Structure 1
């Protein structure tokens, strides 16, 4: 019984060993797991839309056991530069900065353009441009800003990049105005104090600076792009006209007093082109949870979106937007789905090796069990071959002793009942050989 068990284990152990070896070789070609450490660029200040969004991304990632580092930056242009230099793994970038902004607006990013290819994971919210001008300056249109002092944020910010693009399409030359690095409340203070003639803000949600300027209607005016919105959208394809209705800012204060059309690029989440595919799916799921609701300038379900892209959309992101999440990631925790999807490639070598080996195992087991019986026939043939030369009693007694020795070994032989026919056939053949030996010559 134990011999049969040992033979069984030896047979299937060999099969398992061969299959495990094949899987080990195939595992070398399996994609590595996603990195545990992720760096995300934020934006200027703790209250910017980028900073708030990336903090929520970080919380969702940490809930999935990732380690997340938030890297503060001056805004979209610097975010883009850090992505290209692999100083961060993900960043929100304002529409237009990555692909279609003039070189002058891209600053140091232009010199790093060839460093790392980038892809988009989708746009997440609109960022309208809020352009305020002083009423006493007589500059109610952007074409009239030649010679003006304009607060447009620091170099490296998306606000400055968009401001330069808006001025360029209005034929306002870079050397014909003074660019001030003021932003936020500093820009609002400077505009109200007359230190600048115009101030440009790019903000998904109005902050304290915009609120203060909206309430100062006697001194400053919010530029309305309604009559030229189609022209701006044609010249700057990454901007979308968005509508701010009368009293849409403040119903109590009736602000604004008339409907206003603003120009809004869409912020997108950008990553290097070699980003891990599982991270793409995870991030899009996070974007869905964070941005699919109703926004100030977008209806529910408008974001995240594959539209308004400056950079190529990652192929897995495009597939997700078209077909939704994979079955595994819909019904399994992230890391479980990742492990199963990574191991899926092992199914091919598993089937290629295991199925033939499984079919080979029963014949191998049968051969091993029958060989325990057949090996005694070699000794019996040897005795039979020596029989004609054994003519005296001593020689035949020696052959008979060898037969008795074989009989003792066979009596100790243990085989399963399924091989009983071969076992008893061996004993009958041994008895026949004994009869041949005990018969005297002649």
Structure 2
């Protein structure tokens, strides 16, 4: 008896393991596919290092890059600054797959000057960076009066150079005898102070310290664009601004009158593949650096998602509509990013594991019970045959088949938690057996054909 019990127990365990694997294997495969699909759409953890391209002497970009560097360092992100010759070279590095640059400061209008780049998105406009045209000699009111002069128009790859050529060509001033010199800022300033140049084009923030010194030079004048509105209409990336009297130096009353300036916009652009978490971090830095009031900017005017030359990234669009993501408002950057990624990982848990949690036990129970339920087909077959009023040999064959079914079912290894199904089957089997026995008894009591009914 002990040997029978041991064999029965071993068979029961083998059946249970087989049932579990038959049910769990497809379930685990489904869960794995769900997680793989989720991983495919979830961005990996953001890198700890970003590289930004910033022109050395254009628009104050170098200064802004250092401010961003300090802000990102608070959240453990290292911002490396890659110096360039100007907006065109910054865009070139950003567009190259192996350029090694993730984001860049550029001047509006650079794309119109041949700087259009694929797979580049905008994180928004940052601030006005006016065009300053300082010149020597008698007062003039328009760029047309610079014909035949010696003009410094900035390095060849700079946004200053591109903007200067655009405006000078529009006025027909770029041709001889005009001399256009592609000089670095410091060299151009030194030469105009010595009288070796007649005019210099500069693009810089109004707060730049060198502008106040340059505006105080007694032999230099600052051009006021009398047709500023016309330029702004012709070139949408330019804004017409008024430089109020005395704003550069109240004590010295510099400038001595209101002046009209033309101003491109500094923009922050990035690779389309920039990690969303870093995009939001950069946008927060932009709000901190550029959100206040300046000499020419109103408080809250920047950063902005309006009038960008490149498509606005989806993160920037959401940021300007509803602000930073909820988690980043209340949690440190690393914690917000971790929770955000873990939250997305709950998708397969909710979409797959919860239904499976209900389906797997039901499937297991069905598989265990199915070992008994399939014997009900034999009971049904016997009951149908009984409706045909079988003869005694057939009834005895039915009893034999019932005994065989009962013997086979009793040998099925069945967990105790499902043993009631075994006893239910035996009860149903007994019901059919009793019906057959009644038929046999009725057949034994009936008189044989032709027998006398009277004794």
- C-alpha separation in 2, matches of 1:319 and 1:424: 63
What's the CA shift string for 1:107-155, capped at 9, x where partnerless? xx5xxx5x634322210011011111113x6655321111111122221
- C-alpha separation in 2, matches of 1:306 and 1:375: 69
What's the CA shift string for 1:245-272, capped at 9, x where partnerless? 1111111222111122211110111223
Q: Which segment drifts farther, 355-364 or 238-247?
A: 355-364
Per-residue deviation at 1:279? 4.0
- Which residue number corresponds to residue 17 of structure 1? 28
Matched, 1:224 2:249: no
- C-alpha separation in 1, matches of 2:23 and 2:266: 58
The question of whether the paired residues in 2 share the 8 Å contact of 1:38 and 1:68 is answered with yes
What's the CA shift string for 1:285-340, capped at 9, x where partnerless? 33223221212211111011122322232344234323434445545544225515
Spell out the pairing of 1:285-324 with structure 2 (5 A cutoff): 285-324=284-323
Query: 2:67 is paired with a residue of what secondary structure?
Result: helix
Q: Which segment drifts farther, 30-39 or 90-99?
A: 30-39
- C-alpha separation in 1, matches of 2:18 and 2:34: 24
Per-residue deviation at 1:368? 4.7
The question of whether the paired residues in 2 share the 8 Å contact of 1:132 and 1:198 is answered with yes
Per-residue deviation at 1:356? 5.1
Partner residue of 2:61 out of 39, 50, 68? 50
Query: 1:288 is paired with a residue of what secondary structure?
Result: helix
Query: 1:72 is paired with a residue of what secondary structure?
Result: strand
- Which residue number corresponds to residue 203 of structure 2? 202
- C-alpha separation in 2, matches of 1:128 and 1:407: 93
Return 5+ residue gaps in structure 2 as ranges: 1-8, 378-392, 394-403, 438-455
The question of whether the paired residues in 2 share the 8 Å contact of 1:19 and 1:350 is answered with no
Spell out the pairing of 1:239-388 with structure 2 (5 A cutoff): 239-331=238-330, 333=333, 334-336=336-338, 338-340=340-342, 343=345, 346-347=347-348, 351=351, 353-354=352-353, 357-370=356-369
Distance 1:340 1:298, change over 3 A: farther
- Which residue number corresponds to residue 30 of structure 1? 41
- C-alpha separation in 1, matches of 2:421 and 2:307: 80
The question of whether the paired residues in 2 share the 8 Å contact of 1:49 and 1:205 is answered with no
What's the CA shift string for 1:14-67, capped at 9, x where partnerless? 57514422314424642442652432102216x962112222333444444445
Query: 1:91 is paired with a residue of what secondary structure?
Result: strand
- C-alpha separation in 1, matches of 2:409 and 2:343: 59
The question of whether the paired residues in 2 share the 8 Å contact of 1:74 and 1:154 is answered with yes
- C-alpha separation in 1, matches of 2:327 and 2:169: 49
TM-score w.r.t. the length of structure 1 is: 0.74
Per-residue deviation at 1:278? 4.5
The question of whether the paired residues in 1 share the 8 Å contact of 2:153 and 2:182 is answered with yes
Query: 2:90 is paired with a residue of what secondary structure?
Result: helix
Q: Which segment drifts farther, 256-265 or 335-344?
A: 335-344
The question of whether the paired residues in 1 share the 8 Å contact of 2:242 and 2:260 is answered with yes
- C-alpha separation in 1, matches of 2:310 and 2:322: 21
TM-score w.r.t. the length of structure 2 is: 0.72
Matched, 1:134 2:133: no
The question of whether the paired residues in 2 share the 8 Å contact of 1:242 and 1:297 is answered with yes
Partner residue of 1:78 out of 78, 86, 89? 89
RMSD over aligned Cα atoms: 4.7
Return 5+ residue gaps in structure 1 as ranges: 379-387, 389-401, 437-442
Query: 1:41 is paired with a residue of what secondary structure?
Result: strand
